Amino acid sequence: MVVVAQLVERWLVVPDVAGSSPVIHPMDVVSNAASSTDVEREAATTSRSAPDLPWQTVVWNDPVNLMSYVTHVFRSYFGYSKPEAERLMLQVHNDGRAIVATGPREEMERHTEAMHEYGLWATVDRIS
Amino acid sequence: MRIEPEITGVLIELTPMERRLLATLLAQYDELVHDQLDESDLSGDPALARLFPNAYPDDDEAAAEFRRYTRDGLVERKTANSGLISAALTGASDDGRLTVARDDAEHWLPALTDLRLVLAERLGIRRDDDPLPENELADVYQWLGELQWSLVEALD
């Protein structure tokens, strides 16, 4: 650990071209984890979903973010209770994705942008 | 490394080597986010694509518009977050102790996340079951994870 400072000199900036791979689409990562019925069930159980609020912010699983950090973000940004934040975090972890907010499009984009600032993988979806 | 909650914030004690390492990573991060963003589209570097995810994977037009409206602000806030850590490191006392206010510590977290996201990409960690290689960079990655985990614990 203590000898690495010199070694990392350019590792962050210059991509390892040989080792790099194409960007993985979120759907590839979750594969079959979220079927359309799952999505419908999620949408139905999201209490704030309504016909006039047809958009949602979805957070996707990634292999990097710590579970405690994701929970922390859901609590501090959305103001969710600890149990609710943990439930959503586990849903992301286990199912590959979770709907963290539902509402008007602009608001969902604002949430998505905020998630990107936190380093979470988020997308905007129209509720189908 | 020692992280402890304090009344007004968080005590962060790092060795000189740890501080140097973190400062080096942050400088490279700023370079990556600022310079490379200007001159290349994100498809050239998966790490950048991960720092600025596609908000509309199924709608190219909406994705481009989202990017147009959010990118500059995100770059600004991401580099402000990393700058906060850099400034704190510069201001550390000789014994390596920093007392970081809660609000500031909250801004450390996303910056540490972004560092880990870039390192993970360089290490080939893209799925949950990808193994962590055995090398110095992986040690750095794990050390950052430990730092972030301790910081979240101290803040929660």
pTM across the whole model: 0.83
- Those residues whose C-beta lies under 8 Å from the C-beta of residue A49, and which sit 6 or more positions away, are A43, A56, A102, A127
Residue B44: inside a domain: no
**Residue pLDDT tens, chain B, 156 long:** 999 999 889 999 999 999 999 999 999 999 999 876 665 566 678 899 999 999 999 999 999 999 999 999 999 999 999 999 999 999 887 787 899 999 999 999 999 999 999 999 999 999 888 999 999 999 999 999 999 999 999 999
Which pLDDT does position A127 carry in this prediction?
Answer: 87
Residue A80: inside a domain: yes
Closest-CA residue of A relative to B21 is: A5
- B107-146 burial: b if 16+ Cβ within 10 Å, else e: bbbbbbbbbbbbbbbbbebbeeeeeeeeebbbbbbebbbe
A67, A15, A39: which is closest to B42 by C-alpha? A15
Assign residue A38 the CATH number of its domain.
3.30.1390.10
What would the two tokens of residue A70 be?
Answer: 């994701």
Nearest CA-CA distance, residue A49 and chain B, Å: 20
Nearest CA-CA distance, residue A117 and chain B, Å: 6
Per CB-CB distance under 8 Å, the chain A contacts of B73 are: 113
Which pLDDT does position A11 carry in this prediction?
Answer: 57
Q: Do B55 and A122 touch (CB under 8 A)?
A: yes
Residue A112: inside a domain: yes
Q: Do B110 and A2 touch (CB under 8 A)?
A: no
Mean pLDDT of each 10-residue bin along chain A, 128 residues long: 46 48 42 42 45 85 96 98 97 96 96 98 93
Residue A25: inside a domain: no
Which pLDDT does position B40 carry in this prediction?
Answer: 53
What is the predicted ipTM?
0.94
Domain that holds residue B145: 2-38+75-155
Residue B122: inside a domain: yes
Domain count, chain B: 1
Handedness of CA B3, B6, B8, B14 (dihedral sign): negative
Give whole-number Cα distances, A13 to A66, B1, B40, B78, in Å. Answer: 23, 25, 13, 16
DSSP class of residue B35 equals: I
Domain that holds residue A63: 31-126
Q: For residue A124, which amino acid is it?
A: V
Residue B8: inside a domain: yes
Residue A12: inside a domain: no
Residue B120: inside a domain: yes
Domain count, chain A: 1
Residue A16: inside a domain: no
Handedness of CA A22, B147, B105, B26 (dihedral sign): negative
Which pLDDT does position A26 carry in this prediction?
Answer: 45
Q: For residue A1, which amino acid is it?
A: M
Which strands, in side-by-side order, build the sheet including A121-126?
A97-103, A55-60, A121-126
Phi, psi of A111 (to 5 degrees): -65, -40
Q: Is A83 on the interface with B (CB under 8 A)?
A: no
What would the two tokens of residue A71 be?
Answer: 């929970």
Residue B67: inside a domain: no
Nearest CA-CA distance, residue B126 and chain A, Å: 6
Residues B46-73: tens digit of each pLDDT:
899 999 999 999 999 999 999 999 999 9
Residue A23 three-state SS: coil
Residue A109: inside a domain: yes
